[in-house]
């Protein structure tokens, strides 16, 4: 269904920040479980999520799902009937460039 790629590293970085810097391991675990649940929710109607504002930068359609302070950046592959998750970015990040999507 999904391919983690750099998205998993993005999520792990944020979990480490919550766990190690903010010293809130339970919050980190709860956030990650919720993130996984949000990603799996894309199995049903991923097109419900809007196209990203930076769409003009890309040659294929990219959408995002907001999860608390983060954006789950993904593409729907209708031929393979799957969702490809590219990144999990904090919402404060300004824009998404071509080099950030594999």
* Residue pLDDT, tens place only, 23-80: 999 999 999 999 999 999 999 999 999 999 989 889 899 999 999 999 999 999 988 8
Helix (H) or strand (E) holding 71: strand 70-77
Q: Where are the domains of the chain?
A: 5-96
- The rounded distance, in Å, linking the Cα atoms of 94 and 9 is 19
CATH 3.30.2310.20 is right for the domain spanning 5-96: yes
Residue with tokens 């593409």: 75
Please state the pTM of the whole predicted model: 0.87
């Amino acid at each position: 269904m999904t391919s983690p790629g750099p998205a998993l590293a993005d999520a792990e970085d944020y979990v480490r920040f919550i766990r190690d810097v903010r010293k809130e391991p339970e919050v980190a675990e709860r956030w990650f479980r919720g993130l996984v649940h949000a990603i799996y929710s894309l199995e049903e109607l991923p097109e419900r999520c809007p196209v990203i504002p930076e769409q003009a930068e890309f040659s294929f359609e990219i959408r995002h799902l907001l999860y608390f302070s983060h954006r789950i950046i993904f593409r729907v592959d209708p031929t393979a009937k799957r969702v490809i998750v590219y990144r999990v970015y904090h919402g404060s990040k300004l824009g998404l460039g071509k080099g950030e999507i594999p």
